[in-house]
Amino acid sequence: MVVMKLNLFDTIAAIATPAGESGIGIVRISGKDALKIADKIFVSKDGKKPSAFKTYTVHYGWIVENQKSKISARGGFAFGEKNQKLDVVDEVILTVMRAPKSYTREDIVEINCHGGIIPLRKTLELVLESGARLAKPGEFTQRAFLNGRIDLAQAEAVLDIVRAKTDSALRIGVEQLKGGLSKRLNQLRNKLLEPLTILEANIDFPEEDLETAKINNIAASLEEVNQRLGCLLDNSRRGRVFREGIKVVICGKPNVGKSSLLNALLKCERSIVTPIPGTTRDTIEEIIDIRGIPIRIVDTAGIIEPRDLIEKKAVSRSQRYIREADLVLLVFDGTRNISYEDEVLMRKIKSKPTLALINKIDRKLKIKRQRIIQRFQRVVDISAKKKKNINLLEEAIAQFVFSGKIESGEPVWLTNLRHIQQLKRAQRAILRAEKSANKNLPFEFIAQDIKEAIGFLDEILGRRFSEDLLDRIFSEFCIGK
């Protein structure tokens, strides 16, 4: 275990809800002094102090700037000194969760304020003035990990849940937080410990020669672990897609219906649609859910030859988005023949994965469809304005993402690039150990490679970690989580 520079004995606090106006905003306090701090700033209706509250209880009262007043029997404020003024910051609900049965395994107090910037800020200021320090990004979840409530893979799943853009991504994050991935990795780890124990016993007591059958069993065990790792890694691309999504760019010459297509996919009026060519002079980006896949979809300006500085910048930005795209949706106006502008765009995207869309099929078609089919593997006929065949387009996008293998009974466990990299390293170490066992190389070689593989698994689970690793992981969290 690494000794952390971060002082885990501090009591920390932060606003745990997004800034802005809302019904409720939460100030969260965690640490040994959480209840003592709450005693200083909270006045309950019944006059009791938070330090006397039972765990998992909720209490109504006020956040105040001084505590010399008392509560009258009628529930109003009565002052202990003549002319004393009690400064009420907010009317709140306070929740107490005592250690060790809390998110961080420390005493936690959560103050539910009215969700405005001022009451939340003033409440937090009072908490900090009373002895807490401002939490760092992800520090509450970091403490949950360091205090042993969750492992590191589960801690990272918290961020996946917060950032989930689709139901599928949310389900994967919840399963990982429940320990689905951790359980599988611990099973593999235990499977590796079996041959390692045998090898180390023989290294320590060389007079007890290993039988050939036991050596063969070691190789077979390593092969089984390797196969199970391979199954996890084979599914990792799907997991990464569910976690991060793909970037899809809509392009086409002016007035082919790009903005109408964006609106049809979003199922709302996001882009302005007019019969005037060049209405969209900048990129518009949104996130949509297609078959559980988070899609970052971008509507680009349809300008081919810029006439001024603004249009020049719009074209430059559109070209950049096309270069970065995972998939391009090239839209053609089905009521017109293929034009010079269409040819220019087809040349520009020839190296990109592309779905060709023939739009405006609700009207009389003039386009030579065969020419498009010859250029592109997949062509979808749509009417963006009438929302016709949009479901076929969504199916084609999903088919592209999963290479035609959309349905799969295999659960998705791997979504995190760090986990994928560590499992690949573990797999390489196991392959080396397996080859060494088959070649009857010294036991020390086999044991060392197995230890390395276990170490890579331990880094995913957080059994082994560095302070730099934790800093990288938890710096991505928001303050208050």
Are 172 and 242 in contact by the 8 Å Cβ rule? The answer is yes
Instruction: Give the residue ranges of DSSP H helices in 267-389.
Output: 309-324, 340-348, 369-375
pTM of the model: 0.80
Domain 12-149 and domain 251-286+295-401, same fold? Reply is no
Per-residue pLDDT of the chain (481 residues; tens, 9 = 90+): 444 455 678 999 999 998 888 889 999 999 999 999 999 999 999 889 999 999 999 999 999 986 654 444 344 455 444 434 568 999 999 999 999 999 999 999 999 999 989 999 999 999 999 999 999 999 999 999 999 999 999 999 999 999 888 888 899 999 999 999 999 999 999 999 988 988 888 887 766 665 655 667 888 899 999 999 998 898 887 888 888 888 999 998 888 888 889 988 888 665 444 454 444 445 688 888 888 888 999 888 755 555 556 566 766 777 788 888 899 999 999 999 988 888 888 888 888 899 999 999 999 988 988 888 888 888 999 999 999 999 999 999 988 887 754 444 456 678 899 999 999 999 999 999 999 988 888 889 999 999 999 999 999 999 999 889 999 999 999 888 8
Q: What is the model's pLDDT at position 200?
A: 86
Top-tier CATH class for 251-286+295-401: alpha beta
- The domain limits of the chain are 12-149, 158-235+414-462, 251-286+295-401
- Exposed, middle or buried by CB within 10 Å (0-12, 13-18, 19+), for 445? middle
Alpha-carbon distance of 292 to 241, in angstroms, equals 10
Q: What pLDDT shows up at residue 7?
A: 67
Residue 196's closest CA among 11, 425, 454, 389? 454
Q: What is the DSSP letter of 52?
A: G
Residue 83: the pLDDT is: 38
CA distance 207 to 306: 83
What single-letter DSSP state applies at residue 333? E
| Cα distances (angstroms) measured from residue 56 to each of 272, 310, 346, 376 | 51, 58, 63, 61
List pLDDT tens digits, range 405-445.
444 445 667 889 999 999 999 999 999 999 998 888 888 99
The 10s digit of each residue's pLDDT in 256-268 is 888 889 988 888 6
Among 237, 265, 235, which residue's Cα sits nearest to residue 250?
Answer: 265
Q: What is the CATH number of domain 158-235+414-462?
A: 1.20.120.430
pLDDT tens for 40-62 read 999 999 889 999 999 999 999 99
For residue 322, give every residue at least 6 positions away whose Cβ sits within 8 Å of its Cβ, in sequence order, or none: 249, 251, 300, 328, 348, 349, 352
Residue 417 contacts residue 426 (beta carbons within 8 Å): no
Q: Are 43 and 67 in contact (CB under 8 A)?
A: yes
Which run of H or of E encompasses 158? helix 152-163
- 29 has which bridge partners? 13, 109
Q: What integer pLDDT is reported at residue 389 of this predicted model? A: 94
Q: What is the pLDDT of residues 410-419, one digit of tens each?
A: 566 788 999 9
Q: Name the β-bridge partners of 57.
A: 96
For residue 312, the model assigns a pLDDT of: 67
For the chain, the farthest-separated pair of C-alpha atoms sits apart, in whole angstroms, at 92
Q: What superfamily does domain 12-149 belong to in CATH?
A: Probable tRNA modification gtpase trme; domain 1 (3.30.1360.120)
